[in-house]
Amino acid sequence: MNVTIVDYKSGNISSVINSFKEVAKGKVNIEVTSDLNKIKSSDKVVLPGQGSFKSCVDALNNINGLVDTLNEFAINNKKPLLGICVGLQMFADIGYEETETKGLGWISGKVLKINNQNGKFKLPHIGWNQINIVRKSKIFQNIENYSHMYFVHSYEFIPEDKKVILATTDYSSNIVCSVEKENIFGTQFHPEKSDKIGLQIIENFIKL
């Protein structure tokens, strides 16, 4: 099986690569590439994202044909795809970080700045926070509810259809921190930085 981590030059993804390789233990081929043919022929794709919504969308668009290839992979061919952090946020129709920017439009919704309630909550939201799993999912298999995951973000994804929400975290409000729509999965937290529990999520995705 081939799992491809899309490298579109959006910040440091070495911890994502290392975590997937650690879980794969050589039994699964982990590719790190922006090569369109390799992405097309892979079984699963991981879309990481670091930095702003706009910078990540711009970086995807800078690679000719990459967005079309991802659309074909996830929407047409319905193969499993995991978005991490801004990778999840880009599923939205639109994001408002820096400037209004069009997302991939895979899951209807928007990405807005977390309401810090006049400075009561620090932004970015950095550190460990409990997640509340609101519905069953294969990617949360063997994960206890209220486990702690590692977060780094100032913006949140607000999906139109609440049925796609897998988990929330309480920070200023109930923030959506994981979604699932058919073959598309996303986590706002960083599984690659969330110790053994995060590795379990990565393993669950690989085993899908």
Catalytic residues: 85, 190, 192
Q: Show the tokens assigned to 171.
A: 């920070």
Taking the CA atoms of residue 191, residue 79, residue 10 and residue 24 in that order, the dihedral angle to the nearest 10 degrees is 50
Nearest to 85 by CA among 53, 128, 39, 43: 53
Residue 81: Cβ within 10 Å count: 24
Tokens 């910040």 correspond to 11
Residues 6+ positions from 92 with CB-CB distance below 8 Å: 103, 104, 105, 107, 108, 109, 110, 111, 157, 159
- β-bridge pairing 44-47 and 173-181: unpaired
CA distances for 135 relative to 17, 66, 162, 164, 174, angstroms: 28, 32, 11, 9, 15
Q: Which helix (H) or strand (E) holds 167?
A: strand 165-171
